[in-house]
Amino acid sequence: MPPGPPPAEERNYEVGQIAFEAASSAIAQEAKDRLTARYGACSLDKAAVVVALGGDGSMLETIHKVLPCKIPVYGMNRGSVGFLMNTYSEDHLLERLACAQAADLHPLRMHAVTAAGAVEEALAFNEVSLLRQLRQAAKIRILVDGRVRLEELSCDGVLISTPAGSTAYNLSAHGPIVPLSANLLPLTPISSFRPRRWRGALLPSDADVVFEVLEHDKRPTAAVADFTEVRDVVSVAVSEDRTVCVRVLFDPDRGLSERIIAEQFTV
């Protein structure tokens, strides 16, 4: 992979080098207009950095959008949750970008096969989830590195997340929060019916996971990688793709690693 952006102490940006990406909401669009007037406008293909304005969903969309550009992303919260975002301010943006802390994120790559024989691939920086499409529970067999680890999981669904995504849907499904440096991937059931006592697993980041959908004609199941959905899947393979990387920037003392640790003490 080509070298990423320079480390923080060597990072300097100027007016006209920033591309602004905003959610469709009025508050995000207004923020984009004000920041563009103050710091200049730049297209993605010529930008040195991207500033995303919105919530975590907008941040994820921006991350996917800038992957071919290989430039860092700095988010400012103009949405609701904003776990991946920095505090919004129109002042001192160049200085904040210059001293920001960087986190390099690697996605999961989903390889899904549908009942019709189609093959779909997608990347996920948060999680890959399998979800039942109808009223009946999904039945899923789980293999890790070619070995059957769970013969049949009867559930609403199951997901595997990145460390960065462990505080998102994974946490809502009662999965564990994982520090960035742990090199672990949480595997978490969603409303499991059988086996009742299985609460999931922590897998090494180099694990190859395959989900096989049982009785797929009777119990149709969808697979979702971030915001890419594939319906009527029969098998889904998931593994971390270390050849793909995006650099996300955070204000000092509020880096992603610190946020993930702090989230574990939130009451």
Give the annotated binding-site residues for NAD(+). Answer: 56-57, 126-127, 156, 164, 167-172
* Both structure tokens of 137: 């529970």
* Both structure tokens of 170: 């994974």
Q: What DSSP character marks residue 168?
A: T
Q: Is the distance from CB of 211 to CB of 141 less than 8 angstroms? A: yes
* Both structure tokens of 106: 């690697």
* Both structure tokens of 57: 């969903």
| Peptide bond before residue 2 is cis, with ω within 30 degrees of 0 | no
Task: Give the closest residue to 21 by CA, choosing from 33, 32, 30.
Answer: 32
Binding site listing? 56-57, 126-127, 156, 164, 167-172
Which residue among the candidates 56, 104, 145, 208 is catalytic per the annotation? 56
Q: Is the distance from CB of 140 to CB of 129 less than 8 angstroms? A: no
Task: Give the closest residue to 96 by CA, choosing from 251, 224, 240.
Answer: 251
Sequence-separated (6 or more) residues with CB below 8 Å from residue 189: 153, 155, 157, 158, 173, 198, 199, 200
Please report which helix (H) or strand (E) contains residue 70, including its range.
none
Task: Give the closest residue to 211 by CA, choosing from 126, 135, 113, 116.
Answer: 113
Active site residue 241: no
Q: What is the set of active-site residues?
A: 56
